[in-house]
């Protein structure tokens, strides 16, 4: 979860930054609103990247919380809808695939796993 979750969040930071000019120029949302909302979401994504170093449960919880906030913001600022749906689906895929990878690692080397890499289901 550490690598895949961090990669998803890092790409989401870039995309949220690129949505700012689209929301302001094309859709005529106020610049202050777009900058504050997008900047806040970008900051939350960066902070969630830092939480990915902890155990799997914390990583999934913080990442899911950020995805939910992006989706809620997409209700009010329409250009955020495409990234919210796209990265929400990618996040679900990352959680599922990382659980499979962790389970496969546990089968191969049960003594190598420590408690921070323990596969858990949601």
62 lies in some domain? yes
pTM of the model: 0.83
Query: How far, in Å, CA of 94 to CA of 92, rounded?
Result: 5
What is the total count of domains within the chain? 1
**Widest distance between CA atoms in the chain:** 57
109 lies in some domain? yes
Q: How confident is the model at residue 52 (pLDDT cuts 50, 70, 90)?
A: confident
13 lies in some domain? yes
Count of beta carbons in the 10 Å neighbourhood of residue 32: 9
- Of 69, 84, 75, nearest to 15 by C-alpha is 84
32 lies in some domain? yes
122 lies in some domain? no
- CA triplet 40, 91, 49: central angle to 5 degrees? 50
Tell me which residue range forms the domain holding 88: 2-117
pLDDT tens across 68-85, in order?
999 999 999 999 999 999
Count of beta carbons in the 10 Å neighbourhood of residue 103: 12
């Amino acid at each position: 979860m550490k690598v895949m979750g961090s990669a998803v969040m890092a790409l989401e930071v870039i995309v949220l930054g690129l949505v700012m000019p689209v929301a302001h120029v094309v859709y005529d949302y106020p610049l202050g609103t777009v900058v504050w909302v997008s900047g806040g979401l970008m900051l939350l994504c960066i902070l969630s990247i830092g939480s990915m170093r902890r155990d799997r449960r914390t990583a999934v919880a913080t990442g899911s919380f950020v995805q939910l906030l992006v989706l809620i913001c997409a209700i009010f600022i329409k250009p955020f809808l495409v990234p919210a749906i796209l990265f929400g689906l990618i996040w679900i895929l990352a959680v599922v695939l990382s659980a499979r990878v962790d389970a496969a690692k546990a089968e191969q080397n049960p003594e190598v796993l420590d408690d921070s890499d323990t596969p858990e289901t949601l």
